[in-house]
């Protein structure tokens, strides 16, 4: 929140709806994935924003259509979540500790209750339902 506020310039017109949406998505990505790197959060936020916009559009899966962009964004989100899972599992194995990281994803990894593919879908569903 502080970073978002610090980016405003004096006298700049701010579209509150856009700012609130961006902050909410950033918070969800951080809490669900336990990602703290600003560049990773920004990237995931953009993918998620594209995904949501496309899910609310006419489902035409051809290049140039919003829905097509959303399906590409969904693939990227799943890919990023799977990479995060792999990284966390490698770190967990290397350090021989019980902790698998922060956020909901870290908790799911600790519980070992879902296959990795299901975790990615679960996280996307949580992101989408909270939108």
- The pLDDT of residue 65 is 95
Q: What is the pLDDT of residue 120?
A: 87
8 Å CB contact between 49 and 58: no
pTM for this one? 0.75
38-55 and 16-33 are packed helices; what angle lies between their axes, rounded to 10 degrees?
A: 110
User: What pLDDT digit, counting tens, does each position of 44-87 carry?
Assistant: 888 988 888 888 899 999 999 999 999 999 999 999 889 888 88
Q: pLDDT band at residue 17, thresholds of 50, 70 and 90?
A: confident
Give mean pLDDT, residues 19-27.
81
How far apart are the C-alpha atoms of 98 and 76, rounded to whole Å? 28
What is the Cα–Cα distance from 60 to 54, expressed in whole angstroms? 10
């Amino acid at each position: 929140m502080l970073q978002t506020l610090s980016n405003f310039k004096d006298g700049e017109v701010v579209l509150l709806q856009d700012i609130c949406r961006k902050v909410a998505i950033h918070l969800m990505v951080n809490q669900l994935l336990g990602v703290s790197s600003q560049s990773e959060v920004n990237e995931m936020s953009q993918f998620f924003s594209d995904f949501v916009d496309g899910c609310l559009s006419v489902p035409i899966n051809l290049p140039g259509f919003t829905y097509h962009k959303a399906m590409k964004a969904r693939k990227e989100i799943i890919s990023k979540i799977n990479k995060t899972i792999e990284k966390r599992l490698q770190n967990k194995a290397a350090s021989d500790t019980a902790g698998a990281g922060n956020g909901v994803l870290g908790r799911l990894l600790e519980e070992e209750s879902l296959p990795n593919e299901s975790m990615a879908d679960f996280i996307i569903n949580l992101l989408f339902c909270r939108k």
